Amino acid sequence: MQTAWDAGSGLNAFARKHVQLIEERSKGRIKINFRTGGEIVQSFETWDATGKGIIDVGHACNCYTGTKSFASQLFCSAPSSASCIGKYLWNIEGGGLEMLRELMAKTYNVRVFASVPIVSETFLYSRKPISSVDELKKLKVRSAGIRGGVFKQAGVSVVSLPGGEIVPSLEKGVIDGAEYSDFWADSAMGLADVSKYIYFTKFPMGGHLYLFINIDKWNKLPSDLKEVVESASLDAAAYNITQEVLNNLPAWKKAKEKGLKISMLPDKVEEHLDAAAKAYYKEQRAKDPVFNKILTSIEEFNAKYDEFEPIAASSVLRTGC
């Protein structure tokens, strides 16, 4: 197995937990030799390498599958689409995972499992303040997947870099800002150490990471071990979403104590990016029926869930009676 995550990324801890659950519940009948991004193939090649049998198991996000299936990128971080909890529920109970499995089986020859819902996705690490749309447009940022497309639609210069190249590129001023994953996992890579401003957004853009197995290897597993992997994967996603929250609380506190400025994007900037996302989706829907089908499914699930989420979040986040 190889992940798509640089050795310094906290995302490997979530992948390891997923693997641990599979190994423990198989009672030693499944053993997974764990490697991090770049040890066997380049991080961006993790999906391809798994499908081709170079490795048996991968762990990555769909920001890296756009070359073969543009629409599949909606299953990861997509601005103004679905919240993290919404996307997680849509995956598990709303038919999302079934759609992704069908798509990835055809394009990458892999069987996909939900693994890590990204609760606190950082919108942007920046060396420069963003107080206006004009300042946003002057930035050169590292981005990938749908978010990279939305940035471009919004007039931002975008470059694609693997995780291990982000920090040195920020340090040298090659890029002004970057997005990668959640704050805790990114902090382990040093992203917060080379940034002055950490921006989040009020608009939903839930990301999700997946574990995937070469289909030929999957088909050779006996039915009881397939059930083990399925069950362990459901529990891995539930465990990881909890740890996402708990890990980020002290990470945010530590960053604030060091003087980092953590804030939401200014309203005008958020509105500009939201409008860019909607325009981008409209263009993609018109030319890609698969994209339209997936986004429609997300929207239909959101229509049931959106009214409930703020009520639930309010009751959870407030203390006292």
Angle at 263 between CA 260 and CA 266, to 5 degrees: 135
The single-letter code of the amino acid at 163 is G
* pLDDT score recorded for residue 23: 98
Which residue, among 47, 42, 67, has the nearest Cα to 163 in the 3D structure?
Answer: 42
Q: Is residue 81 a contact partner of residue 300, using CB atoms and an 8 Å limit?
A: no
Distance CA 91, CA 113 (A): 10
Say which CATH number the domain at 85 has: 3.40.190.170
- Are 40 and 55 a contacting pair, CB within 8 Å? yes
Task: Count up the domains in the chain and report the number.
Answer: 2
Say whether 261 sits in a helix, a strand or coil. strand
Q: Do 47 and 128 fall within a single domain? A: no
Q: Are 50 and 110 in contact (CB under 8 A)?
A: yes
User: 3-class DSSP state for residue 279?
Assistant: helix
Weakly modelled stretches of the chain, pLDDT under 50: 316-321
pLDDT given for residue 252 in this prediction = 82
User: Is residue 270 domain-shared with residue 227, that is, in the same domain?
Assistant: no
Model pLDDT, residue 310: 75
Distance CA 123, CA 104 (A): 26
Instruction: Indicate the residue among 187, 217, 248 that finishes a domain.
Output: 248
pLDDT in tens, 41-81: 999 999 999 999 999 999 999 999 999 999 999 999 999 99
Do 55 and 23 lie in a common domain?
yes
- Residues 69, 32 share a domain: yes
Does 7 share its domain with 89? Answer: yes
Buried/exposed 2-16: b ≥16 CB within 10 Å, e otherwise: bbbbbebbbbbbbbb
113 shares a domain with 130 = no
**CA dist 261 to 125, 167, 192, 214, Å?**
10, 18, 10, 43
Three-state DSSP class for 139? coil
**What pairing do the DSSP bridges indicate for beta strands 197-200 and 207-214?**
unpaired
**Can you give the residue range of the structural domain that contains 167?**
124-203+260-289
Backbone angles phi, psi at 81, to 5 degrees: -120, -75
Task: Looking at the structure, tell me whether residues 189 and 59 fall in a common domain.
Answer: no
Whole-number pLDDT of residue 316 = 47
SS (H, E, C) 111-126: EEEEEEEECCECCEEE
The reply to whether 276 and 188 lie within a common domain is yes
Residue 243 lies in a domain: yes
Q: Regarding beta strands 207-214 and 110-118, do their DSSP bridges make them parallel or antiparallel, or are they unpaired?
A: antiparallel
**Are 242 and 265 within one domain?**
no
Same domain, 36 and 16: yes
Residues 161 and 139 in one domain: yes
Residues 241 and 280 in one domain: no
